[in-house]
């Protein structure tokens, strides 16, 4: 399967938490209800994943943050559930598989997204 897109992003966890505290409505604009209840490091990693997804899709104009949700499988492995604007762009590009990896350590959260056709 050909690689259609790759995205990576890193987030300073403390700075991200400060942004959420400064602008409380930001949490609701960036995260689904299920995501929003997670701890700070996990939220930062999920935001990094959404940014990485946007980069892998070619930074489409009008992408809705809530259309890309990170869910955890029973094993704990993260995966994207995409819908709406994100699913439409992925279909346009011919994406068949989305791979995501999240990490957080030493105050930094990171994510990598690989899109395959």
pLDDT tens profile 18-40: 999 999 999 999 999 999 999 99
Instruction: State the pLDDT at residue 76.
Output: 92
Domains and CATH numbers, the chain: 3-116 (3.90.470.20)
As a whole number of angstroms, the distance between CA 100 and CA 64 comes to 18
Q: What's the rounded Cα separation, in Å, for the pair 17 and 72? A: 22
The per-residue pLDDT of the chain, averaged, comes to 96
Model's pTM, two decimal places?
0.95
Q: Which residues of 30-64 are buried (b: 16+ CB within 10 A; e: fewer)?
A: bbbeebeeeeebbbbbbbbbbbbbbebbeeeeebe
Predicted local confidence at residue 1, as pLDDT: 82
Distance CA 60, CA 103 (A): 25
CB count within 10 Å of CB 116 equals: 14
Average pLDDT over residues 69-88: 96
Structure confidence by residue, pLDDT tens digits, 86-116: 999 999 999 999 999 999 999 999 999 999 9
- The closest alpha carbon to 112, from 50, 45, 65, 49, belongs to 49
Cα separation, 93 vs 57, in Å, equals 8
């Amino acid at each position: 399967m050909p690689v259609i897109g790759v995205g990576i992003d890193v987030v300073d966890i403390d700075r991200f938490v400060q942004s959420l505290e400064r602008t409380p409505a930001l949490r609701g604009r960036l995260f689904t209800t299920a995501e929003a209840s997670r701890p700070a490091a996990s939220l930062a990693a999920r935001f990094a994943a959404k940014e990485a997804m946007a980069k892998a899709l070619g930074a489409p104009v009008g992408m809705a943050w809530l259309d890309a949700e990170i869910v955890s499988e029973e094993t704990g492995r993260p995966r994207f559930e995409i819908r709406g604007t994100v699913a439409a762009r992925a279909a346009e590009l011919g994406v068949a598989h989305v791979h995501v990896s999240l990490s957080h350590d030493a105050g930094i959260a990171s994510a990598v997204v690989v899109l395959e056709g």
